[in-house]
């Protein structure tokens, strides 16, 4: 019985140590991802929306995005976005990067952000209201 409790205690201790290492890794890596993704968003978003450039979007797009979206859909989206007017104001993104690991997709990283963009038409509506 004593031997069993020692083995059980050792297994429990190993699990606790591995969990602590995992939490420390996620905390450190999460902060790095927050900084990287904020810097990426601060350069990519203005480059794409400043002239509503499909090329800028496609240069930064993932292979999954390129497979999921057709050229016709991009043309429709950017024609509609272009009707909003020129890009006027960009507030810095607020949010955090999320990490996940699954047996189906492997590692994945997601940036969950909120940002406010203001177009010329939106400014006209808000001034006249």
- CATH number, domain of 31, equals 3.10.450
- Pick 76 or 122 by higher pLDDT: 76
The 10s digit of each residue's pLDDT in 34-80 is: 788 788 888 888 888 888 888 999 998 888 889 999 999 999 988 88
Contacts of 5 (CB under 8 A, 6+ apart): none
Query: If you average pLDDT over residues 96-107, what whole number do you get?
Result: 64
Tally of domains within the chain: 1
pLDDT of residue 121: 54
Q: Which among 32, 37, 34, 49 has a CA at the least distance from the CA of 90? A: 49
More confident position, 123 or 16: 16
70, 91 Cβ separation under 8 angstroms: no
The answer to whether residues 121 and 99 touch, using CB atoms and an 8 Å cutoff, is: no
The residue segments making up the domain with residue 35 are: 2-128
Confidence of residue 113 (pLDDT cuts 50, 70, 90): low
């Amino acid at each position: 019985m004593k031997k069993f409790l020692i083995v059980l205690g050792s297994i429990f201790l190993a699990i606790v140590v591995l969990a602590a290492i995992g939490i420390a890794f996620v905390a450190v890596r999460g902060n790095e991802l927050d900084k990287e993704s904020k810097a990426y968003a601060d350069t990519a978003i203005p480059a794409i929306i400043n002239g509503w450039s499909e090329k800028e979007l496609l240069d930064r797009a993932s292979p999954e995005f390129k497979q999921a979206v057709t050229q016709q859909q991009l043309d429709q989206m950017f024609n509609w976005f272009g009707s909003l007017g020129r890009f006027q104001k960009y507030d810095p993104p607020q949010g955090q990067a999320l990490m996940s690991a699954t047996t189906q997709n492997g590692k994945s990283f997601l940036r969950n952000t909120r940002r406010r963009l203001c177009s010329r038409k939106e400014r006209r509506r808000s001034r006249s209201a």
